[in-house]
Structure 1
Amino acid sequence: MYRAQTKVGCEVGFALALAEAAVSWQRELRGQGVVGCSIFAKGSGVFLYFEMTGEGCEWEWPITCKPLLEAWPGSFGGEHRYAVPMLDIFHDGEPEMKEAGQSGERVGSLARLKPSKYSSYIFYHYAMQEEKPSCFNPTYLIGAHEELIFSYQERPAPSFEHGVTRRKWPAPITPENWHDVMQPHFIPWSESEHGPILWETMDTILSF
């Protein structure tokens, strides 16, 4: 999972440039071991989900896309960074549980965490990941960078059996009233008649 950002006013231009370069870029990524890719956007924010055959790859944006992206502060080896990795903080299931070529609608969503609740959010999600693996959708995962958290999932959830508990503590940690405990961790995007909107679904700008 990666995060990038377009320059002000370049959101549409970036999406068009990416679409025009999609065929050759997809071929390049596949040559580097990327077997699946979904890119989502909200405003100037761009979020990437890759499925890879190995631990990672040294990928690059298409050359026509780079001028439309903000260079991230700091550099590595003197090179500008146009995307930064997100911290992997939650997997409901394991990648090998998915069958090749079997994927439904790919959904990317975005939320904001209160800085004071960051560690608590990760703590509870790690506990649930270990105590109740595959409890709702084995494709679901969450990445974090600064105050933003990005989730990816495929709908409908593929058929699966609940996984075996990976770890046991002296007493269960995952709360039964999960949503009530989670809500105070978020900075809502807005309010609706049904309550605060914590997650917003993003637009998909590329998927293969």
Structure 2
Amino acid sequence: MQAGCEASFALALAEAAASWERELRDQGILSCSIFTKGSGVFVYLEAASESCEWAWTKACRDLLETWPGWGSDKRYAVPMLDIYHDGQAEIREARYDSGSERLGMLARLKPPMYSSYIFYHYAMQEEKPNCFNPTYVIGTHEEFIFSYYEHPSPAFENGATRRTWPAAITPENWHEVMQPHFIPWSESEQGMVLWEKMDTLLSF
């Protein structure tokens, strides 16, 4: 968001919410949550087709900075790379409108640790599907990693291993192995804060 426009953006989003939800559903978007941290805005959506493209309402777009990148086109959103999903896409329809809280969390990775982080998450995704929360996904863009999940977790049985290799890769001491990958938000006597919960502006 543009500097100092956080409150105005939240208001513009709230005023457009009802009509915008209908428009998004007509475009094939089944579920949408918009989260913020500081001036950053993160969108999680589930769509009926990969051809659905995200576009802000004019009132919201006017309060956003353009995202830098190649070319001359003004970009008001950039896609994140999908690097982890605990559950299968086809099980998601079973828990729509379940009343669960939708959570967006944000963390930062050390650039030299990106490949290691993705490697271990791919291994876990294949070796232990549905081991944590079948709605849990992680996306990344530059140093940011964004996670989305719903709490409480839907009741699904652990999935069958998707892929095997000569020896298991997922470490038993998962959190200990993961900690060096992160740039902490803060540190205290209680430990380092690696993931921060974001504020929810809109969810349907």
TM above 0.5: yes
Of the structure 1 ranges 16-25 and 126-135, higher mean CA displacement relative to structure 2 is found in: 16-25
Which of 122, 127, 144 aligns to 1:131? It is: 127
**8 Å CA contact 1:35, 1:53 repeated in 2:** yes
Which of 113, 120, 125 aligns to 1:117? It is: 113
Q: Which residue of 1 aligns with 2:61?
A: 66
2:134 is aligned with what amino acid? P
Q: Cα deviation per residue 1:77-97 (whole Å; 9 max; x = unaligned)?
A: x54110000000000001222
The CA distance in 1 between the partners of 2:51 and 2:197, in whole Å, is 26
- Residue correspondence of structure 1 range 42-191 to structure 2 within 5 A: 42-74=37-69, 79-98=73-92, 99=94, 100-191=96-187
Q: Which residue of 2 aligns with 1:33?
A: 28
Partner-residue secondary structure (3-state), 2:123: helix
Deviation at 1:101, TM superposition (A): 2.6
**8 Å CA contact 1:40, 1:46 repeated in 2:** yes
Of the structure 1 ranges 157-166 and 101-110, higher mean CA displacement relative to structure 2 is found in: 101-110
The CA distance in 1 between the partners of 2:132 and 2:106, in whole Å, is 19
The CA distance in 2 between the partners of 1:166 and 1:48, in whole Å, is 28
The CA distance in 1 between the partners of 2:69 and 2:126, in whole Å, is 35
1:12 is aligned with what amino acid? A
The CA distance in 2 between the partners of 1:192 and 1:163, in whole Å, is 37
Deviation at 1:136, TM superposition (A): 1.2
2:188 counterpart of 1:195: no
2:90 is aligned with what amino acid? E
The CA distance in 1 between the partners of 2:97 and 2:174, in whole Å, is 33
CA RMSD of superposed structures (Å): 1.2
Q: Which residue of 2 aligns with 1:3?
A: none
Deviation at 1:54, TM superposition (A): 1.0
Q: Which runs of 4+ in 1 moved over 3 A?
A: none
The CA distance in 2 between the partners of 1:151 and 1:203, in whole Å, is 13
Gaps of 5+ in 2: none
Q: Cα deviation per residue 1:124-156 (whole Å; 9 max; x = unaligned)?
A: 000000000000100000000000000000000
Deviation at 1:75, TM superposition (A): 6.2
Deviation at 1:103, TM superposition (A): 4.5
**8 Å CA contact 1:75, 1:81 repeated in 2:** no
The CA distance in 2 between the partners of 1:133 and 1:145, in whole Å, is 24
The CA distance in 1 between the partners of 2:51 and 2:198, in whole Å, is 24
Q: Cα deviation per residue 1:72-126 (whole Å; 9 max; x = unaligned)?
A: 11367x5411000000000000122231332500000000000010110000000
In the alignment of these two chains, the number of paired residues is 202
> Taking every aligned residue pair, what percent have the same amino acid on both sides?
69
Q: TM-score if structure 1 supplies the norm length?
A: 0.94
Which has the larger strand fraction? 1
Gaps of 5+ in 1: 1-5
